[in-house]
């Protein structure tokens, strides 16, 4: 804590936050990893050994290469570093191959590529309005946003335990959003195009990007005729591209929850209503990730990390908006508190019942249904907030 205080006092608090979470990621290296670990090992082997024409046709493993070309080239680049750790991991026929060196390489490849995410968070912090500024460092919106993004519980467990590369992909998305906020529209559009060539799941965000760029750059820059502008909705998104993006991302929430909470952080530090949506979405969504880590050693880790992140999120945003009405109403409070009994029933009571063997799917069913309610509620509130804000803005203009 003293070291952190020194770093904060000298203006290097962001570096301290980034270094702290990086050390935590290193501590998570020995934890459980999913089949995605083998998926990416196989992709390293495919891209390293075969000509480009065969990358998408090689089927020795069931985990065939099915990501867009940029990610394939990303794996190709990593494979030329991987060979110095363990050459055996690059053998296409070594299915389910595992070694301590392979583990270290795979884990560190995620940690190091997260540098892009850290840079993107830093750029996003520059876009935050500084009007709502507390006296203490910990009450400043930029500090709160940095913690919520850098220490995001979802990214920690999905990337650094379960094993994926969402960090640097989220970094590309955040950097693209930051460029849009900075009115550097061409750069923002280019970065998003690059992102699409890394992971196709972001395609459902493309319509929001297209509409926003038409509304805020193309028609504005070229000053078209009134007939052309009349084709566009006369809505003014005061928060920039984020409501459009979040609306699209929430539609794909089942496949890509983590990116939704990451983007929603940017709105959460600006308005109390958006902070409420963020807290409901992130708390419920993070709990929905618990079934990904089903082994006993990870149980205390996921409970502890989520508890710490949730407590900080609620307390910091309450402090940020302490002069406004409470963030939660009684219904929302009861719903979020209900996650505690749900966890007790699923993890500690159900295994001792006679239903465990006959109906093993019940805990997952209960978790999915309960979390779906909260996520759907957050989605509805988000759209209501956007539409209400647009109507108010339109009324003020008239």
Tell me: the pLDDT tens digits for 313-351?
999 999 999 888 899 999 999 999 999 999 999 999 999
My answer on whether 215 and 251 are in the same domain is yes
My answer on whether 91 and 143 are in the same domain is no
pLDDT at 229 (0 to 100): 31
**202-237 pLDDT per residue, tens:** 888 888 888 888 888 888 745 443 333 332 332 335
pLDDT at 211 (0 to 100): 87
Q: Last residue of a domain, which of 93, 113, 133?
A: 113
Q: Last residue of a domain, which of 113, 142, 165?
A: 113
My answer on whether 57 and 108 are in the same domain is yes
Model confidence at 9: pLDDT above 50: no
Model confidence at 392: pLDDT above 90: no
My answer on whether 270 and 393 are in the same domain is yes
My answer on whether 121 and 54 are in the same domain is no
Model confidence at 286: pLDDT above 70: yes
| Domain-located, residue 327 | yes
My answer on whether 64 and 207 are in the same domain is no
My answer on whether 130 and 179 are in the same domain is yes
My answer on whether 121 and 80 are in the same domain is no
My answer on whether 67 and 175 are in the same domain is no
Number of domains in the chain: 2
Model confidence at 138: pLDDT above 80: yes
| Domain-located, residue 360 | yes
| Domain-located, residue 331 | yes
**26-74 pLDDT per residue, tens:** 999 999 999 999 999 999 999 999 999 999 999 999 999 999 999 999 9
Instruction: Calculate what percentage of the chain has a pLDDT beyond 70.
Output: 83
The secondary structure of the chain, three-state, reads: CHHHHHHHHCCCHHHHHHHHHHHHHHHCCCCCCCCHHHHHHHHHHHHHHCCHHHCCCCCCCCCCCCCCHHHHHHHHHHHHHHCCCCHHHHCCCCCCCCCHHHHHHHHHHHHHHCHHHHHHHHHHHHCCCCCCCCCCHHHCHHHHHHHHHHCCHHHHHHHHHHHCCHHHHHHHHHHHHHHHHCCCHHHHHHHHHHHHHHCHHHHHHHHHHHHHHHHHHHHHHHCCCHHHHCCCCCCCCCCCCHHHHHHHHHHCCCCCHHHHHHHHHHHHCCCHHHHHHHHHHHHHHHHHCHHHCCCHHHHHHHHHHHHHHHHHHHHHHHHHCCCCCCCCCHHHHHHHHCHHHHHHHHHHHHHHCCHHHHCCCHHHHHHHHHHHHHHHHHHHHHHHHHHHHHHHHHHHHC
| Domain-located, residue 13 | no
My answer on whether 255 and 353 are in the same domain is yes
My answer on whether 167 and 276 are in the same domain is yes
- Confidence category of residue 391, pLDDT binned at 50, 70, 90: low
| Domain-located, residue 16 | no
Residue 282, domain extent: 114-397
| Domain-located, residue 15 | no
Q: Last residue of a domain, which of 54, 82, 113?
A: 113
| Domain-located, residue 335 | yes
């Amino acid at each position: 804590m003293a070291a952190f205080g020194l770093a904060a006092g000298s203006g290097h608090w962001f570096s301290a936050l980034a270094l702290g979470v990086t050390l935590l990621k290193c501590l998570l290296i020995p934890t459980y990893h999913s089949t995605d670990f083998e998926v990416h090992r196989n992709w390293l082997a495919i891209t390293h050994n075969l000509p480009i024409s065969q990358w998408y046709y090689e089927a020795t493993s069931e985990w065939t290469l099915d990501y867009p070309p940029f990610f394939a080239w990303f794996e190709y680049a990593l494979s030329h570093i991987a060979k110095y750790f363990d050459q055996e991991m690059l053998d296409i026929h070594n299915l389910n191959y595992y070694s301590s060196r392979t583990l270290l390489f795979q884990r560190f490849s995620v940690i190091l590529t997260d540098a892009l995410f850290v840079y993107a968070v830093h750029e996003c912090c520059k876009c935050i309005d500084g009007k709502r500024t507390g006296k203490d460092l910990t009450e400043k919106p930029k500090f709160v946003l940095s913690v919520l993004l850098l220490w995001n519980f979802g990214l920690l467990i999905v990337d650094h335990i379960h094993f994926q590369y969402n960090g640097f992909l989220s970094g590309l998305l955040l950097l693209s959003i930051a460029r849009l906020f900075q009115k550097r529209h061409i750069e923002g559009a280019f970065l998003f195009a690059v992102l699409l060539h890394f992971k196709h799941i972001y395609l459902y965000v493309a319509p929001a990007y297209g509409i926003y760029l038409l509304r805020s750059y193309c028609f504005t820059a070229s000053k078209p005729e009134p007939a052309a502008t009349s084709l566009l909705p006369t809505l003014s998104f005061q928060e920039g591209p984020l409501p459009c993006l979040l609306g699209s991302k929430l539609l794909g929430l089942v496949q890509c929850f983590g990116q939704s909470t990451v983007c929603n952080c940017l709105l959460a530090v600006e308005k109390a209503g958006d902070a409420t949506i963020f807290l409901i979405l992130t708390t419920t969504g993070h709990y929905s990730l618990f079934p990904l880590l089903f082994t006993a050693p990870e149980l205390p880790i996921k409970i502890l990390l989520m508890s710490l992140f949730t407590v900080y999120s609620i307390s910091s945003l309450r402090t940020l908006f302490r002069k406004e009405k409470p963030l939660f109403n009684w219904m929302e409070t009861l719903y979020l508190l209900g996650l505690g009994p749900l966890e007790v029933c699923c993890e500690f009571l159900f295994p001792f019942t006679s239903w465990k063997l006959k109906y093993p799917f019940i805990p997952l069913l209960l978790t999915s249904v309960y979390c779906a309610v909260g996520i759907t509620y957050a989605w509805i509130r988000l759209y209501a907030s956007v539409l209400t804000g647009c109507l108010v803005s339109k009324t003020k203009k008239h």
